[in-house]
């Protein structure tokens, strides 16, 4: 594996005059352990331009010209063949790129990760930052593997919240002990090895959908277990973020977060689609670093959303007028970054399932209106069981979405009738979760559908009522039997 470490020794020394030597020694030790090359971009920049590398305050269009010079030198040093790129220092030490979409500045490290010129990120890129102690810890030998205690701050009902539920299940399959917090619980963060947030975010705080803070930068507790954070919330890591620095300075191991507003909080659309790609990669490669998982997820998102040519043009032009749909896709791709320990990985262990799963089908089953159009199965509920949920995964030709109707019956009673028009597919209503995304000619659908909770034997029937062509029910589909589960209500006024 080929690794390159970027440093800016001059600026690092200016900012941390008492600790720069210690940071440089930590970089050298890390490079020795991982057989990595170290590139001092200030020395290179001065050799080429005769000027010291000065990073201007954000926002500033001049940032990208400097970043382009750095990328040119990366390609020169590596021949464009690189697996991992580590940026030592925050955005005032090694600049982010600044591009403009519809005249809005977007700050990103993404273009550093595409060295082969296809518009897609193939280089896993991580930024080491924080105070000197935090940076040295992130580069230390002992900082790479997280433990099993996971906390998910999220006020949604996990049973019908697609991203939270899939994360919960994937983590449990690798032996994580997972607690879900609807509100409060800041003290739990100090006991966590992994923190996954779904809710509102700012550069100063994380909060639930009711606006109640889970944690603030000023109130960040010490984090002795050195957790990894995966934060699905708006703009927690823009240039100068206090929250990111508080997390890493207080003991955080690694942080995945966004520099911009998160668009399209709809199941399996935009950022939520990116989460689906992340989890698909994690389930296939649980031993990969979290930064590598993010890189693979972003590359898949760009492939599905057909962003490659636009990204190449944006890198060259630096500013584009794109319209709303392209804007949401491009910002979703560009805004997500990895910070902290470069090779941080999640815990691996034996499965501890939180809910029981009864597979709906063994292999992919194709339904057609004029042919096999029904799947039937049975399941049993006891007095010890909680809410049953149908997790349904399906693919179909997107061209047939407008005509598709799927009916879900339990014991002869129709519980859900799902229509395939965009107004149904792209919405999240209170008692079910419906979502999906377009991939070329296909539509990939996700459903979480509550079933009746009654003791005894049950018959479940899934019928394709209309649609004309083939609909494929995928083997991930299952009847989930949950334990008793607490949810939270809006605070009293």
Cβ neighbours around 150 below 10 Å, total: 26
Q: Tell me the backbone φ, ψ of residue 320, rounded to 5 degrees.
A: -150, 145
Kindly tell me if the per-residue pLDDT of 425 is higher than 50. Answer: no
| Residue 32 CB contacts under 8 Å (≥ 6 apart), including other chains | none
DSSP tag of 56: P
Kindly tell me if the per-residue pLDDT of 419 is higher than 90. Answer: no
| Residue 155 CB contacts under 8 Å (≥ 6 apart), including other chains | 182, 183, 199, 208, 209, 210, 212, 488
DSSP tag of 113: G
The strands making up 149-153's β-sheet, listed across from edge to edge, are: 37-40, 3-7, 84-88, 124-128, 336-340, 254-258, 228-232, 194-198, 149-153, 177-181
For position 267, what pLDDT does the model report?
85
Please write the tens of the pLDDT for every residue from 443-475. 999 999 999 999 999 999 999 998 767 899 999
CA–CA separation, 169 and 183 (whole Å): 21
Please write the tens of the pLDDT for every residue from 75-132. 999 999 999 999 999 999 999 999 999 999 999 999 999 999 999 999 999 999 999 9
Q: What is the pTM of this model?
A: 0.95
For position 94, what pLDDT does the model report?
97
DSSP tag of 402: G
Cβ neighbours around 141 below 10 Å, total: 9
User: Which structure tokens are listed for 438?
Assistant: 């377009």
For position 10, what pLDDT does the model report?
95
User: Which structural domains are found in the chain, ordered by start?
Assistant: 3-137 (3.40.50.10390), 145-340 (3.40.50.1460), 356-483 (2.60.120.260)
Q: Are strands 365-367 and 471-473 parallel, antiparallel or unpaired?
A: antiparallel
For position 423, what pLDDT does the model report?
46
């Amino acid at each position: 594996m080929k690794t390159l470490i970027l440093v800016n020794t001059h600026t690092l020394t200016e900012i941390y005059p008492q600790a720069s030597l210690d940071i440089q020694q930590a970089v050298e030790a890390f490079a020795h352990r991982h057989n990595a090359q170290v590139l001092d971009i200030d020395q290179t920049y001065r050799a080429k331009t005769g000027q010291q590398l000065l990073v201007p305050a954000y926002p500033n269009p001049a940032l990208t010209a400097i970043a382009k010079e750095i990328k040119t030198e990366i390609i020169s040093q590596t021949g464009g063949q690189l697996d991992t790129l580590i940026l030592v220092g925050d955005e005032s030490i090694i600049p982010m790129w600044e591009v403009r979409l519809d005249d809005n500045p977007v700050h990103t490290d993404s273009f550093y990760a595409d060295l082969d010129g296809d518009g897609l990120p193939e280089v896993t890129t991580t930024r080491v930052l924080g105070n000197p102690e935090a940076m040295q810890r992130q580069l230390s030998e002992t900082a790479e593997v997280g433990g099993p205690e996971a906390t998910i701050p999220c006020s949604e009902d996990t049973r019908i919240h697609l991203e939270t539920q899939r994360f919960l299940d994937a983590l449990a399959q690798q032996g994580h002990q997972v607690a879900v917090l609807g509100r409060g619980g800041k003290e739990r963060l100090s006991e966590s090895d992994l923190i996954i947030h779904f809710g509102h975010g700012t550069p100063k705080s994380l909060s639930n959908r009711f606006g109640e803070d889970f944690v603030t930068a000023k109130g960040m507790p010490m984090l002795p277990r050195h957790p990894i954070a995966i934060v699905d919330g708006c703009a927690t890591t823009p240039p100068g973020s206090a929250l990111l620095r508080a997390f890493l300075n207080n003991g955080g191991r690694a942080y995945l977060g966004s520099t911009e507003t998160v668009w399209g909080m709809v199941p399996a659309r935009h950022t939520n689609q990116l989460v689906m790609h992340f989890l698909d990669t994690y389930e296939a490669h649980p031993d990969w670093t979290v930064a590598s998982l993010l890189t693979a997820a972003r590359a898949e998102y760009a492939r599905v959303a057909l962003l490659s040519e636009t990204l190449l043009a944006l890198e060259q032009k630096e500013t584009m007028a794109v319209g709303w749909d392209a804007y949401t896709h491009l910002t979703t791709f560009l805004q997500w970054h990895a910070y902290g320990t470069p090779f941080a990985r999640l815990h691996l262990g034996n499965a501890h399932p939180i809910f029981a799963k009864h597979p709906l089908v063994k292999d992919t089953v194709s339904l057609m209106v004029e042919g096999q159009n029904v799947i039937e199965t049975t399941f049993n509920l006891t007095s010890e069981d909680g809410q049953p949920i149908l997790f349904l995964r399906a693919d179909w030709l997107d061209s047939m979405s407008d005509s598709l109707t799927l009916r879900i019956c339990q014991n002869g009673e129709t519980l859900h009738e799902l229509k395939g028009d965009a107004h149904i597919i792209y919405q999240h209503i209170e008692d079910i979760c419906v979502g999906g995304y377009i991939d070329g000619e296909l539509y990939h659908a996700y459903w979480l559908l509550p079933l009746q909770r009654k003791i005894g034997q049950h018959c479940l029937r899934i019928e394709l009522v209309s649609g004309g062509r083939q609909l494929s029910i995928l083997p991930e589909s299952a009847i989930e039997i949950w334990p008793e589960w607490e949810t939270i209500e809006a605070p009293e006024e």
